[in-house]
Structure 1
Amino acid sequence: MLKMMTFFQGLPGQQSLLGTLDPGLSEAESEASMSEASSEDLIPPLEAGVTPDGEQEGTSKKKKSKGLANMLSVFIKGKKKKDQPRSSETEVKSKARPELEGPPPTVEELKAALERGRLEAARPVLALERELEAAAAAGGTSDEELVRLQSKVEALYVLLRDQVLGVLRRPLDAAPERLRQALAVVAEQELEDRRAAAGTRAAALVDTLWRGGVEEVAAERLGARPAGVPAGLSEAESRFLHMGRTMKADLEAVVERLKPLFPAEFNVVHTYAQSYHQLFAAHLDTLAQFELCERDTYLLLLWVQNLYPNDILNSPKLAQELQGIRLGSLLPPKQIKLLEATFLSNEVANVKLLMNRALELESQRWAQDVAPQRLNGYCHCELAIDIIQIISQGQTKAENITSDMGMQIKQLLLVELASMLRSYQHIFDEFLEKSKLLKNYRANIIANINNCLSFRTSMEQQWQIPQDSPSHLMDPLKELKAHGFDTLLQSLFLDLKLLFKKFTQTRWAAPVETLEEIIATVGSRLPEFSELQNCFREELMEAVHLHLVKEYIIRLCKRRLVLKTAEQQQQLAKHIEANAEAIQSFCTQNGSTATWLHPALPTLAEIIRLQDPSAIKIEVATYATWYPDFSKGHVNAILAIKGNLSNSDVKSIRNILDINTGVQEASRSLFSLIKVV
């Protein structure tokens, strides 16, 4: 068609076909000449010598007609060779001028309408072109006149092209009705081009021009500087936020507004998505080439692995539309792996640094004799809360990228946590050793014991680490707590040692009164531990319970009491049972749950009471199943009280422990804490 080369190819910077045919006539001159012509000028009159069927007389006329036909063929097809016959000439001749309502608009009117963006002027322009084609096919008009008239029509097509492409390049900025008009013009021109056997080439050209416009708009929209940088965001964060929001909003607008209007062959959603994706990826790739700070490394990964695929591509309004479009990742997998390794290294180093700093600040407070906080009546230490928050933030950052990154960093952070806890235990031990004279010494010990509960709870609940987890995690806390208990109970146990000595000093003359004094002493000191958490008060009371039973057995094993008659032995057994009941009752009432200690003293009383060696053997064997650390030395010490047993009986009873009963090592220590000679 006459218009094809200008409507689809006449972009700025390209030479028009008219410039090739008639170098003496510029486009500016063509447009200027439009003001001197009317629509009637575009309907050339039949010259003399033209027959009704369009044939001319004379050799010179035929030559002229052939030259005109070749010119029009090149203009219509764009690649016809000079002597190639016009395949569409017959079809062009058969086309009648479209019927127009009212008088046809003048060239000036069409030009003014197109300049105002009136796309409905496209149909009259098409009608003018058809008339010019018919005139050219009929002959009788000079080549110069045809070129002059053609330039006017082409100038109109330049205006029409600019208006249509302007709308198609920025369809999101156009009103829906105007966009429909532009698409209708394209559809009508494509139909005409098919009639002229140029449809395939024309469709490819308009598709290229439109896609180029989409890329330009995408580059302009994504490349625009954000209006303002939100507080707390770096320039890179602000730019990515701007690009992400822009892309999401624009693609949603394409889905809602453009997809219903554009023909399916435009693949409008796919085209916009590809253009925006490629530009977004280019921005990220450019940033990734530089040496990134820690924050920007995290930012890149966050956008590439999470925000872009999840919040944009899989957002509710876009997920279904983009399902079949394989946009891929914003960065190559190899580059992502490098960024992930860098992020993990940076984050683990930061967590380690922050944890060590928190531990240092806390230990400084102890050394400066700063009293711990009180929270709900308990001594409170902030260290566990600080450490938990530091680790949680590191893990959350990794999980924000991907769940797999969260799992990777969890293992790394737990290693660093174990190292920090070991350092915590060592620093606490130094405090216990060197700061005994400080005013808040005991209060800070209690606060740190309570601190173990926060660590333990977080490990079990937040990080799903059971109490029987590997020793590198739980052992430092267990040792810290045990050392704290030992220090808190040290002065009490020294006082009790003197009281327990009364058993042997008085040869067990008044065991009930001695034990009452012991229990009273313990009871008077228990308020010192009231600021311990309940669970730790119970554990501390179990330690007291164990100490009372242990010290009692130590007194029995001193070999300073020998009872030769059964009556004496039964009397002592009775005292031991009464003392055992008193210890058990007192400790249980004050929170001890050490039920495993209940048989310790009553069974020893039974061994002392029994007179039959066989019965004693059974009792000793049973006792060894409860307390696997009950040794032959302990048996000898207890049996030494029974002055009426022969050496052979003692040996026989003692050897019962040589029988393998399948008993495992003691899970709790009792007799291993008692040394016998």
Structure 2
Amino acid sequence: MLKMVTFFQGLPGQQSVLGTLDFPGSPQKSQSTSELESEASMSEASSEDLMPSQEAGLTPDGEEEESAKKKKKPKGLVNVFSVFTKGKNKKKKDQPRSSDPEVQSKSRLELDGPPPTVEELKEALESGRLEAAWPVLALERDLEALAAAGGASDEELVRQQSKVEALYLLLRDQVLEVLRRPLEAAPERVSQALAVVSQQELEDRRAAAGPVAAVLAATRPRRWLQLWRGGVAEVAAERLDGPPVAVPQGRSEVENRFVHMGCTMKEDLEAVVERLKPLFPAEFNVVHTYAESYHQHFATHLCTLAQFELCERDTYLLLLWVHNLYPNEILNSPKLAKELQGIRLGSLLPPKQIRLLEAVFLSNEVTNVKLLMTRALELESQRWVQDVAPQSLDGHYHSELAIDIIQIVSQGQGKAENITSEVGVQMKQLLLVELAALLRSYQRTFDDFLEKSKLLGNYRANIIANINNCLSFRTSMEQKWQIPQDSLRHLLDPLRDLKAHGFDTLLQSLFADLKPLFKRFTQTRWATPVETLEEIISTVDVRLPEFSELKDCFREELMEAVHLHLVKEYIIRLSKRRLVLKTEEQQQQLARHILTNAEVIQDFCIQSGSPATWLHQALPKLAEIIRLQDSSAIKIEVATYATLYPDFSKGHLNAILAIKGNLPSSEARSIRNILDINTGVQEPSRPLFSLIKVG
């Protein structure tokens, strides 16, 4: 099975794990709108203009003074904005307590000395000092408290809120920039940024529980956790859309893109698991977030790609990644399988699109297999007619056709199984149909060669090579494909016909030489049957080396065909009705000749490799019918013979009984009727008497 690791090999220069999320080569982000807004707002800030105005009832040193009005102000709220001036503020009771989570993370920026001014906070944030988040948070809380208490004018509250928001814009950009490249920053700095985001999420929930003063703009929820997730999605897109580090020759653009995206996603997620997961709080669900972002961009890219008309190779690769490489080599890789187990990322393509691509792939692959098989047969048949001698392998004539055809079919099947087993099953059914058609075409092409190329020098050698091919076809189909026997038998029918026609052609000249020898039996009225048979056997024995290049199994089958021919021709001569023996002694003498000849035929054929044991009783049983004189005994022998050779008919029996010139016609009729009892008992598995015509 094609593995993704094969794609990953040979990619020198692939970024290290550190580089997977650090993005050292990515361009620096241009100054954002929020940063520009922050600059504009903060440029107006000074110690004086951020101090509460006298109209709000505040003194420069932050002391509470009595108002001309009778309305009483809560202690501490009127001095909330005095923290923006140096050294004259006291710690406010509305600021976070030391037991609050954020206070535990505060730096000495706030804990030592007087509270920082806005200029100092702005400078701290611009220099990346994330500990400034806590004084900014305190300002926001005090501002809310002041607005709720009515301790300042609407104009003053709006002006002060704009300064707080300007600080938050700076803080947000600094925090998200750290978390955008978390492996570039020190772990302590990443932890600081994460703590800020976590605190902001708490503040979002706190703000949702109570109303906001009408005069203040609604700034919550800030949703920094959501912004971080959006940043992760942007990072995933940047990483996956980046150019491949190395582009080996021979790959298509689509293949290079798949390999790059697959390698990048796998390595980046491994870095997240190994280096970021220990740093990030559980609420960030960092592995899940990165996995979903990378998966979504990968899926979006593939969905877009699938809309175009793809070449055959790219269609296959797309399905291979969707079904096999992506789920097995990335999501279920050793380092990621456990971490992604509970994350249902789903498929890279929707089911409808997948089914369409599978149909296109099956159609393309079947067409290719058909063309390749046809081309292989054409090349093979051209070698026949060009009188090219076949190869010899282990002493047998050999043809590469079967190997080529099986390899073509197996490759198509293997590609389908690499996608899914279900696609493999569909492909198997389609390819078997095409293979059956190819084998029928092979048979027709071979028959045409047998008919038209008899004068070629390598005619017989190529016939033997093609007969040997049948074994390679049959063995491959039996071993590689689980095909039901009925279907396999139907599939192999053209090969059986091809082999039979090949045998007939190879044996044609031998059988022609034997024909006049068998005629001697009747021409001499069986005067010298032993000498005649010896000449027949000698003639066969001389010709057998011509078939030595057949594979062993086919040489045995051919010898069985020779064995059948010898028995059949012998019976034909007995059935010619030219020999009528009227005495018991004459009949017994003929029976002895038949038994002697039967033994010679049997011994020779067995020694020559014939497996046809089913022919052993064909001649001896006929000899017994001729020898017997008792009608009842003959009936028993005929009945037995009919069970051995179901195609033994009344016509054949009549021809044998005609030899017995002393048998009354009434007894002959009674003996023939025995075959009526056995008619239809069974069909002959191998034809013998159906090959013998009697008149």
TM range (shorter): 0.7 to 0.9
Q: Distance in 2 between matches of 1:305 and 1:399?
A: 10
SS in 1 for 2:223: helix
Matched with 1:6 is: none
Matched with 2:423 is: 405
Matched with 1:656 is: 674
Matched with 2:178 is: 167
Q: Structure 1 residue 273 and structure 2 residue 295: aligned? A: no
Name whichever of 651-660 and 624-633 sits farther off: 651-660
Alpha-carbon shift at residue 51 of structure 1 (Å)? 11
Counterpart amino acid of 1:92? D
Alpha-carbon shift at residue 322 of structure 1 (Å)? 2.8
Matched with 1:182 is: 193
Q: Distance in 2 between matches of 1:448 and 1:643?
A: 51
- The partner residue of 1:647 within 649, 661, 665 is 665
Counterpart amino acid of 1:587? C
Matched with 2:373 is: 355
Matched with 2:88 is: none
Is the CA contact (8 Å cut-off) linking 1:460 and 1:466 kept in structure 2?
no
Matched with 1:79 is: none
Name whichever of 117-126 and 135-144 sits farther off: 135-144
Matched with 2:9 is: none
Alpha-carbon shift at residue 611 of structure 1 (Å)? 0.8
Matched with 2:130 is: 119
Counterpart amino acid of 1:225? P
Q: Distance in 1 between matches of 2:210 and 2:255?
A: 47
- The partner residue of 2:386 within 365, 368, 393 is 368
Alpha-carbon shift at residue 155 of structure 1 (Å)? 5.3
Identical-residue share of aligned pairs (%): 75
Matched with 2:517 is: 499
State TM-score, norm by structure 2: 0.82
Q: Distance in 1 between matches of 2:639 and 2:173?
A: 106
Is the CA contact (8 Å cut-off) linking 1:398 and 1:406 kept in structure 2?
yes
Is the CA contact (8 Å cut-off) linking 1:122 and 1:160 kept in structure 2?
yes
Alpha-carbon shift at residue 379 of structure 1 (Å)? 0.6
Matched with 2:578 is: 560
Judged with a 3 Å threshold, the aligned counterparts in structure 2 of structure 1 residues 93 and 57 are, in CA distance, closer, same or farther, namely: farther
Q: Distance in 2 between matches of 1:64 and 1:340?
A: 76
Alpha-carbon shift at residue 348 of structure 1 (Å)? 1.2
SS in 2 for 1:306: helix
Is the CA contact (8 Å cut-off) linking 2:205 and 2:221 kept in structure 1?
no
Name whichever of 253-262 and 635-644 sits farther off: 253-262
Q: Distance in 1 between matches of 2:634 and 2:527?
A: 25
SS in 2 for 1:669: coil
SS in 2 for 1:374: strand
After superposition, what is the alpha-carbon deviation per residue over 1:112-139, rounded to whole angstroms, capped at 9, x for unaligned?
Answer: 6544544345456667778999999999
SS in 1 for 2:392: strand
- The partner residue of 2:559 within 525, 541, 544 is 541
After superposition, what is the alpha-carbon deviation per residue over 1:185-206, rounded to whole angstroms, capped at 9, x for unaligned?
Answer: 3234455666777899856611
Matched with 1:58 is: 68
Is the CA contact (8 Å cut-off) linking 2:64 and 2:79 kept in structure 1?
no
Counterpart amino acid of 2:272? V
Q: Structure 1 residue 450 and structure 2 residue 460: aligned? A: no
Judged with a 3 Å threshold, the aligned counterparts in structure 2 of structure 1 residues 579 and 44 are, in CA distance, closer, same or farther, namely: farther
After superposition, what is the alpha-carbon deviation per residue over 1:550-601, rounded to whole angstroms, capped at 9, x for unaligned?
Answer: 1111111112222222122112111111111111111111111111101101
Matched with 1:668 is: 686
After superposition, what is the alpha-carbon deviation per residue over 1:523-574, rounded to whole angstroms, capped at 9, x for unaligned?
Answer: 1111111111111001001001101111111111112222222122112111
Counterpart amino acid of 2:567? V
Alpha-carbon shift at residue 515 of structure 1 (Å)? 1.4
Name whichever of 328-337 and 461-470 sits farther off: 461-470
Alpha-carbon shift at residue 250 of structure 1 (Å)? 2.1
SS in 2 for 1:92: coil
After superposition, what is the alpha-carbon deviation per residue over 1:432-451, rounded to whole angstroms, capped at 9, x for unaligned?
Answer: 01101101101100000000
Judged with a 3 Å threshold, the aligned counterparts in structure 2 of structure 1 residues 673 and 152 are, in CA distance, closer, same or farther, namely: same
Q: Distance in 2 between matches of 1:618 and 1:643?
A: 20
Counterpart amino acid of 2:67? E
Is the CA contact (8 Å cut-off) linking 1:607 and 1:619 kept in structure 2?
yes
Q: Structure 1 residue 239 and structure 2 residue 267: aligned? A: no
Counterpart amino acid of 2:342? G
Residue correspondence of structure 1 range 26-425 to structure 2 within 5 A: 27-28=38-39, 30-32=41-43, 54-58=64-68, 92=94, 102-103=112-113, 114-123=125-134, 157-190=168-201, 205-425=223-443
Alpha-carbon shift at residue 308 of structure 1 (Å)? 2.3
Q: Structure 1 residue 511 and structure 2 residue 529: aligned? A: yes
Is the CA contact (8 Å cut-off) linking 2:63 and 2:79 kept in structure 1?
no
Alpha-carbon shift at residue 319 of structure 1 (Å)? 3.0
Judged with a 3 Å threshold, the aligned counterparts in structure 2 of structure 1 residues 515 and 350 are, in CA distance, closer, same or farther, namely: same
Judged with a 3 Å threshold, the aligned counterparts in structure 2 of structure 1 residues 101 and 325 are, in CA distance, closer, same or farther, namely: closer
Matched with 2:447 is: 429
Specify every segment of 5 or more residues in structure 1 that has no aligned partner in the other structure, as ranges.
1-10, 17-25, 73-88
